[in-house]
Structure 1
Amino acid sequence: MKTYLVGGALRDRLLGRPVSDHDWLVVGATPEEMTSRGYLPVGRDFPVFLHPQTREEYALARTERKSAPGYRGFTVHASPDVTLEQDLARRDLTVNAIAMPAEWVQPDGSFEPDPDKLADPFHGRRDLEQRVLRHVTDAFREDPVRILRVARFAARFDDFSVAPETMALMREMVAAGETGALVAERVWQELARGLMETRPSRMFDVLRACGALAVLLPEVDRLWGVPQSAEHHPEVDTGVHLMMVLDTSARRQAPLAVRFACLMHDLGKGTTEPALLPRHTGHEKRSAELLHAVCDRWRVPVDVRELAEVVAREHGNVHASGELDAPELVRLLERCDAFRKPARFAEVLLACECDSRGRLGFEDQPYPQRERLLAVLRAAAGVATDAVARTAQQSGATGPQIGEAIHRARVEAVAAVTALPG
């Protein structure tokens, strides 16, 4: 029985990056031996155990063979005769197929690998040095989730390139319809993780290059070649703009919901064909409608979906808010549900700011709309609605009339702080 540290921890340590998790591999053991040593079995699809003290996961060495379509369509063989190299051969990328003996790891979890003594049968160290993402074996094609993982790693390691043979293999997989077998939850999981990487646009560059973006997110893929605006910035490509907006949100360390909203906010650009949506609707409304299909397809969480919908529908109004009078500003706040969800409204404004800065030459431009609308919200939210409602009731108002009285009071408060006519 021999234990190794494998995967991301070793890769990140060799790159000089922080190590967050340890992946442990046990060679030459049986499930019975693991449980006899106090390890707790937790694996459903293959043998994985929790360490009795640290509670870290220890997986038995295994091989995998594709036996049916889909994420779970694998036959797993885990036994003491599976070698370290056989286990590493089933992994996705060479940079993740490196191992070192567990005894090199100190009790506090720190370790200093000796590069010349690592188990590296597929030359992952060489690819780390050359900054290349390369598949380990042709078994890569058996799991289409790996296309998304390569794209996600490209977003994390933004100075790495995808090996030409790996890109060619991914194109073959897409052409063969492999991405059609992807499970919605896994797609969203990988997309969400990729959105939170250092340079998320690279994930979409890779997905677009191999053809997977047209399958998974055709609403986004079609935006390359669509002018950002016929009247304003016709020279700006909407697809390029989206990627700049997305990377701006990453630089601002925005949360996932904001980054997703940045990706989704312009889906309606150019979709004026009657077969898609009515021509008389603005692109903001079209964007919100197309967003629904994306969120349904990949089962996007409700909070992420709702923020993206507000941004898609209202970002044009937020950009133009400096031209709105007090009643229009209050109606904007109401449509955004800002009184009930002020924190979400602040995230809406952050997404809109990223959108405004997502063009060449505008990266550092001020965005006064954000602070102004936050001030407008503070003024409107400061209205004592209970007192207004009581006064309205005393004068005989009921139901919608009370709501209108509160609305008028908020308009007056906004007019006072913006010096705009109420």
Structure 2
Amino acid sequence: MFDADHVRVRRIADKLVAVRSMPAASKAFGAEAHRFKLEPPLPEAMVAEFEERHEVALPKEFRLFVIELGNGGAGPGYGLRRLTVSCCAHRRSGHLTRPSPYRPGPRYLDDWEQRYESPPGPDRIFLPGTVEIAGHGCSLVTHLVVTGPARGRLINLDCEGPIGPYVLEDADFLAWYERWLDEAMAGYDIGWFGERLPLGEPALLTVLTDDGSPTRRVRAGESLLRLPAISDRAWAALAAAMSTDVDASVRAELWDLLRWQRHKHQRHLNNAEAIADDIALYARSCTPPDLKALDILCRLTLTDVLPELACQDSQRRRRAAYHFAQPWPGERDGSRSGLLDDAVTELLIDADALLRSHGVAAVRLLGLTHLHPRLREIQRTETDPWVRHHLDQILGEDPPQTWADLASAPPEMTEYPPF
């Protein structure tokens, strides 16, 4: 296996030389920053010192890359981070020995941070057991898992938003890096690299129609649209899945993807809003109703969420509480204001700390400032660290920022992509 890894390293070195002369690759995302050149490699002794200091063993494929090929430079996003700066900023000693909790499978979404990470503060260890490998702009990053069940695998996430960790399908660092080179040379869209499944069109169509995982079917659709060109057959399959997939969220996500990507592929999506109405009708007919699909379609209402908040199933209540803590245009006055207050009050006294946390967030985001005295009472006895964090955040604001401050009207649905 060791010899096989050396063969892969040499093959990667040859591809790095070849890609520099390819006009298409020069236009790839991030190429201007690194021009497909690596920084000098590190001596083995320096890598060993890093491992001793952090009390870990780096995954062997990454370790070999750093020692034989380069320490930073050419790579996905704006290039690879140097090992010496990949994990030291804002990190406490010993953070790499604590296992990362994230496992291969669906992307962790919505309130992932509250479920798996500790709240902000001087003692926080954020994304333990990982080193940052690459940045893709804004807060989009790729981390390498050093300790935990996904050791050796790469994770993509938005470290400041709801797009949580996704363990990429590449088997290890070298497989991930070589795929990036291959796709850059082939003219693929490699922005936020790794989100695309590492498959060709025929295999992606099989996943889209036959895979048992809804999230993987969506990812197959997104991956098809990231190909340099898409066949009529693939476009027809995407349109069919948008209308027939058993999962409402799959339909909604494919609708959203086709709505934007049709421009890139010079395709048409007729009657987009009518299609969205049909998907919304289907989402409401499901048991439980698919709140995520309705949210994607911008058709989620308070009437959809309130019954789910009263459900006995804890996971359904958690999903509903997450969606509840957002603006409800046109539904915050008159009879609706009382419903909001009642729902928030129930969340604030729930035995589930995650639900209490969503309740506090709802007070802030819905502008329910008249409930601040109740929050001050709760603050005296609350022990959960995340709930306390949100309480301190909202009660320390002057004046509190609400969704009404951020946007006076709901976002408009347009026919043009956001760029």
> Do these two structures clear the TM 0.5 threshold for a shared fold by scoring above it?
no
Superposition TM-score tier, normalisation by shorter sequence: 0.3 to 0.5
Question: What's the TM-score once normalised by structure 2's chain length?
Answer: 0.32
Larger Rg: 1
Question: What's the TM-score once normalised by structure 1's chain length?
Answer: 0.32
